[in-house]
Amino acid sequence: MVPSPPNSLSVLLHSHHPPVPNVCPPSINPLWFTQRSPGFNPQVEPSFLDSGWQTFIFSTCSPRPLIFFAGDKAWEEHSEMWMSTLARFARPVFQRSPSPVVCKAMKACRRMELRAPSFCMTPVHIRRHQTLGSAPMPVAAHSMRHVRALDEERLMAVEWEDGGQSLYPFTWLRDNCQCPRCTLQSAEARLLLMADLDIHTGMDSVEVTKDGKVSIVWPDQHMSVFDAEWLKKRCFSDAARQAMQEELFLNERYYWDATLHIPQADFQEVLHDDGAALAWLLALRRVGIVHLKGAPAEQGQVARLAERIGYLRLTFYGHTWQVQDKSMANNVAYTSGKLSLHTDYPALHFAPGVQFLHCINQAKEGGESEAVDGFHMAEQLQREDPEAFRTLTSLHVDFTDTGTDYCDFMLQSKNRIIDVDSEGKVTRINYNNATRDSVLDLPLHQVQPFYRALRAYVDIMNRPENVVTYTMKPGDIVTFDNWRLLHGRKSYISRPDRLRHLEGAYLDWDEVMSRLRIVRRNVHGDAWASDKRSHLHRKI
Q: DSSP 3-state helix, strand, coil percentages of the chain (rounded to 5)?
A: 25, 25, 50
DSSP per position, 380-408: HHHHH-HHHHHHHTT-EEEEEEEEESSSE
The pLDDT score that the predictor gives to residue 200 is 98
Give the containing element (helix H, strand E) for 307: helix 301-309
Task: Identify the pLDDT of residue 229.
Answer: 94
Asked if residue 15 lies in contact with residue 66, where contact means CB atoms within 8 angstroms, the answer is: no
Query: What are the DSSP calls for 285-303, one per residue?
Result: HHTSEEEEE---SSTTHHH
pLDDT computed for residue 398 by the predictor: 98
pLDDT at 141: 58
* DSSP letters spanning 446-483: HHHHHHHHHHHHHHHHT-GGG-EEE---TT-EEEEETT
What is 54-123 written as a DSSP string?
Answer: PP-------SS-EEEEE--HHHHHTHHHHHHHHHHH-------PPPSSPPEEEEE---GGG---S--PPP
Using a 10 angstrom Cβ sphere, with 0-12 exposed, 13-18 middle and 19 or more buried, the burial of residue 525 is middle
Give pLDDT tens digits along the chain (540 positions). 433 333 332 222 222 333 333 333 333 233 322 232 333 332 323 232 233 333 333 333 333 333 333 333 333 333 443 333 333 333 333 333 322 222 322 222 223 222 333 334 443 434 333 333 333 444 445 799 999 999 999 999 999 999 999 999 999 999 999 999 999 999 999 999 999 999 999 999 999 999 999 999 999 999 999 999 999 999 999 999 999 999 999 999 999 999 999 999 999 999 999 999 999 999 999 999 999 999 999 999 999 999 999 999 999 999 999 988 776 777 887 787 889 999 999 999 999 999 999 999 998 888 899 999 999 999 999 999 999 999 999 999 999 999 999 999 999 999 999 999 999 999 999 999 999 999 999 999 999 999 999 999 999 999 999 999 999 999 999 999 999 999 999 988 877 777 889 999 999 999 999 999 999 999 998 655 444 433 322 222
Q: Tell me what pLDDT residue 527 has.
A: 52
How many helices and strands, by DSSP H and E, does the chain display? 12, 28
What domains appear along the chain, each with residue ranges and CATH number? Answer: 8-139 (no CATH), 144-236 (3.30.2020.30), 260-267+291-506 (3.60.130.10)
Distance of CA 315 to CAs 161, 319, 411, Å?
Answer: 54, 6, 11
**Please, which residues have CB within 8 angstroms of residue 489's CB and are 6 or more apart in sequence?**
333, 338, 339, 367, 368, 369, 370
Q: Can you say whether the dihedral through the CA atoms of 150, 153, 157, 163 is positive or negative?
A: negative
Q: What pLDDT score was predicted for residue 128?
A: 35
326 residue type, one letter: K
